[in-house]
Amino acid sequence: AAHKSKEKGHQIALDYLNQSPLLDLDMRLGEGTGAALGINLLDLSLKLLTQMATFQEAGVATEKESE
């Protein structure tokens, strides 16, 4: 579930499917707006997980190294 809709039946459906939404933005737009936002959030999360440098790779000094 990308987002929590303001529509009455949406929370019932989420509960039935045992799902938690990624976003709760008070939207009642439809047309897949929550999915469009959610897919970008997932894409960014995957990039952070797989492409972000470690402290060592980025040359960040530890507390001991900076003394």
- pLDDT, tens digit, 9 for 90 and up, residues 34-60: 888 889 999 999 999 999 999 889 999
Query: What gap in Å lies between CA 22 and CA 8, rounded to an integer?
Result: 18
- Given a contact cutoff of 8 angstroms between Cβ atoms, the answer to whether 5 and 33 are in contact is no
Give me the chain's average pLDDT, please: 87
Query: What gap in Å lies between CA 38 and CA 14, rounded to an integer?
Result: 16
- The percent of residues above 70 in pLDDT, for the chain, comes to 96
pTM comes to 0.58
Q: What pLDDT is recorded for position 28?
A: 78
Catalytic residue among 7, 31, 57, 65: 31
* Stretch 17-28: mean pLDDT: 87
Is there a catalytic annotation at residue 65? Answer: no
Q: What pLDDT is recorded for position 67?
A: 62
